[in-house]
């Protein structure tokens, strides 16, 4: 039997407004508990919500970026349930008339293929506070600073068929919201959170299987692992004659398993109804058009432009455009060095490795775009070889000046002096009698391969600084002269 996994994602993105969605309290992260919870956020009696204009502008930007319909008349509803981090006893959200309707987005997979994932809708809502489970004499502490932070909940259709597709989709959402600048997208701070609806069915089946909802996945890695392990659990269950039950499950990263959240299993009836404290939000076509006109270049458009303008492969262009900061960095390096392909290789190669090693974002890169461009310029003008360039890069990463300063200080300048290289070639030929003999006796088509030995010896002698193109040319001329 061949199984197919079906995945739909609900992604919650915190919008980076200054104030909350329904109150004038600050949304800044990391404040002392409850210092950013005002009377409205605390649901003090008699207080009333007033929606934040910027939250709507951000939601519309997102909708336009997702090629979605914009809800010209959106309505807030109350979702009723009791939880200590939900002060009003209901969450103000949207249901029947969300701000963003159906849309679609293209995702790019590692094998180079692409796929369209449909957006069901996205709606504005308020975030809840936090329950802190450190022990206060057997009690929990409630911090309501986060209560009322604006969120968009982005609900996909069940269009993904593997954990990898789900991750690619989520990365795409991350990329879009950070490009738009509507969220910092920081998963470690909970700015972007994800619930995954996972079901399995036999390949070829039309009908969807019963789904389980995995809650609160807060890293790309966990999402991938959680989906895989949950899909396998469902397959094993069915193959053993069991049945999947529709429920909410929690991913335990330590044990790499999902478990049922029984406390949430009391069949909830959210009793949604339109919030009578709020009026319909009506947006005009002109308003939407203005926002459309102000949208920045989005990942797909940038990717296409990188392919076209810089002659990059589709894969490279996609890699470079996933994060706006990376794309911006690359474009600076490409412009300043005049070598887009080299720039792409360096940004995705050495630079990515360095950032990964030092756990830094590109914004905090120890090597600036300008310095990297300077380094590439020196490769291009043959001042240094690519190999030496890597050494220079490592030194620059320690903050020891730009490429020219490093090359100068360390004497790493490439030897391109014909006389000096001829001397080194002559010395190596003189010292390699046996290899020269072999070369002479070899069939002509084998000879280019045999040059490697001599090149290696010459590079060694020059401490890697000899210009490789010149070595190749002079060496070949000299060896061929011996034939």
Interface contacts to other proteins, rule CB under 8 A? 17-19, 23-26, 32-40, 42-56, 75, 78, 80, 82-85, 87-90, 131-133, 136, 138-144, 250, 261, 263-264, 266, 269, 271-274, 276-282
Nearer to other proteins, 27 or 175 (CB): 27
Nearer to other proteins, 58 or 169 (CB): 58
**For residue 191, what is the DSSP state?**
S
Structure tokens at 475: 């060496």
CA distances (Å), origin 395, targets 16, 40, 317, 354, 435: 37, 54, 28, 12, 37
The structure tokens 């809650």 sit at 215
Instruction: For the CB of residue 465, give the shortest distance to other proteins in the complex, in Å.
Output: 58
The answer to whether 196 and 217 are in contact (CB under 8 A) is: yes
Nearest CA to 220 out of 245, 246, 192, 200 is that of: 192
The string of DSSP letters for 337-394 reads HS-HHHHHHHIIIIIHHHHHHHT--GGG-SS-HHHHHHHHHHHHTTSS-HHHHHHHHH
> What is the 3 state secondary structure string of 248-316?
EEEEECCCCEEEECHHHCCCCCCCCEECCCCCCEECCHHHHHHHHHHCCCCHHHHHHHHHHHHCCCHHH
Instruction: For the CB of residue 384, give the shortest distance to other proteins in the complex, in Å.
Output: 50
The answer to whether 161 and 4 are in contact (CB under 8 A) is: yes
Nearer to other proteins, 42 or 395 (CB): 42
Instruction: For the CB of residue 46, give the shortest distance to other proteins in the complex, in Å.
Output: 4
Nearer to other proteins, 26 or 416 (CB): 26
Structure tokens at 457: 């010896």
Nearer to other proteins, 274 or 464 (CB): 274
Instruction: For the CB of residue 396, give the shortest distance to other proteins in the complex, in Å.
Output: 41
Nearer to other proteins, 59 or 200 (CB): 59
Nearest CA to 166 out of 101, 265, 251, 255 is that of: 251
Nearer to other proteins, 99 or 105 (CB): 99
Nearer to other proteins, 77 or 165 (CB): 77
Instruction: For the CB of residue 298, give the shortest distance to other proteins in the complex, in Å.
Output: 23
Instruction: For the CB of residue 152, give the shortest distance to other proteins in the complex, in Å.
Output: 15
Buried residues in 289-300 as b, exposed as e (16+ CB within 10 A): eebeeeeeebbb
Instruction: For the CB of residue 325, give the shortest distance to other proteins in the complex, in Å.
Output: 24
Q: What is the CA radius of gyration of the chain?
A: 30
d(CA 120, CA 66): 11
Instruction: For the CB of residue 191, give the shortest distance to other proteins in the complex, in Å.
Output: 17
Instruction: For the CB of residue 221, give the shortest distance to other proteins in the complex, in Å.
Output: 21
Put residue 462 in one of left, alpha, beta given phi > 0 → left and psi -120 to 50 → alpha. alpha
Nearer to other proteins, 144 or 194 (CB): 144
Instruction: For the CB of residue 383, give the shortest distance to other proteins in the complex, in Å.
Output: 51
d(CA 328, CA 321): 9
Nearer to other proteins, 23 or 199 (CB): 23
Buried residues in 107-116 as b, exposed as e (16+ CB within 10 A): bbeeeeeeee
CA distances (Å), origin 294, targets 53, 111, 298, 474: 16, 34, 12, 57
């Amino acid at each position: 039997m061949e199984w197919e996994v079906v995945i739909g994602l609900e992604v919650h993105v915190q919008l980076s407004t200054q104030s909350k969605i329904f109150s004038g309290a600050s949304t800044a992260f990391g404040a002392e508990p409850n210092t950013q919870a005002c009377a409205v956020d605390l649901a003090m009696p008699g207080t009333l919500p007033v929606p934040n204009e910027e939250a709507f502008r951000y939601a519309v930007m997102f909708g336009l970026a997702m090629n979605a319909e914009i809800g010209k008349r959106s309505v807030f509803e109350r979702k009723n349930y009791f939880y200590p981090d939900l002060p009003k006893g209901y969450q103000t959200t949207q249901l029947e008339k969300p701000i963003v309707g159906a849309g679609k987005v293209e995702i790019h997979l590692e094998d180079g293929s692409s796929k369209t994932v449909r957006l069901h809708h996205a709606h504005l809502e308020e975030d809840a506070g936090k329950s802190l489970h450190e022990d206060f004499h057997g009690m929990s502490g409630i911090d309501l600073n986060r209560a009322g932070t604006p969120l968009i909940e982005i609900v996909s259709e069940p269009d993904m068929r593997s954990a990898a597709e789900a991750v690619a989709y989520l990365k795409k959402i991350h990329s879009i919201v950070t490009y738009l600048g509507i969220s910092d997208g920081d998963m470690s701070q909970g700015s972007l959170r994800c619930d995954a609806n996972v079901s399995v069915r036999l390949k070829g089946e039309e009908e969807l299987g019963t789904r389980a909802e995995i809650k609160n996945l807060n890293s790309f890695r966990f999402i991938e692992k959680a989906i895989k392990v949950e899909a396998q659990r469902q397959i094993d269950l069915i193959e053993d004659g069991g049945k999947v039950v529709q429920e909410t499950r929690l991913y335990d990263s330590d044990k790499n398993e999902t478990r049922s959240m029984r406390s949430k299993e009391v069949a909830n009836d959210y009793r949604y109804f339109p919030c009578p404290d709020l009026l319909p939000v009506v947006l005009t076509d002109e308003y939407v058009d203005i926002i459309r006109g102000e949208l920045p270049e989005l990942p797909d458009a940038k990717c296409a432009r990188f392919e076209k303008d810089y002659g990059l492969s589709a894969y490279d262009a996609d890699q470079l455009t996933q994060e706006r900061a990376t794309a911006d960095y690359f474009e600076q390096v490409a412009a300043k060095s005049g070598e887009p392909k080299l720039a792409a290789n360096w940004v995705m190669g050495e630079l990515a490795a360095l950032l990964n090693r030092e756990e830094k974002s590109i914004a905090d890169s120890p090597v600036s775009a300008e310095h990297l461009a300077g380094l590439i310029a020196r490769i291009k003008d043959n001042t240094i070889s690519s190999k030496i360039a890597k050494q220079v890069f490592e030194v620059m990463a320690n903050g020891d000046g730009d490429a020219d300063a490093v090359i100068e200080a360390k004497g790493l300048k490439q030897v391109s002096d014909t006389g000096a290289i001829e001397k080194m070639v002559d010395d190596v030929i003189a010292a390699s009698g046996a290899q020269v003999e072999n070369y002479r006796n070899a069939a002509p088509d084998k000879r280019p391969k045999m040059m490697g030995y001599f090149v290696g010896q010459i590079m060694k002698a020059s401490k890697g600084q000899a210009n490789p193109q010149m070595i190749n040319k002079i060496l070949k001329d000299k060896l061929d002269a011996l034939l």
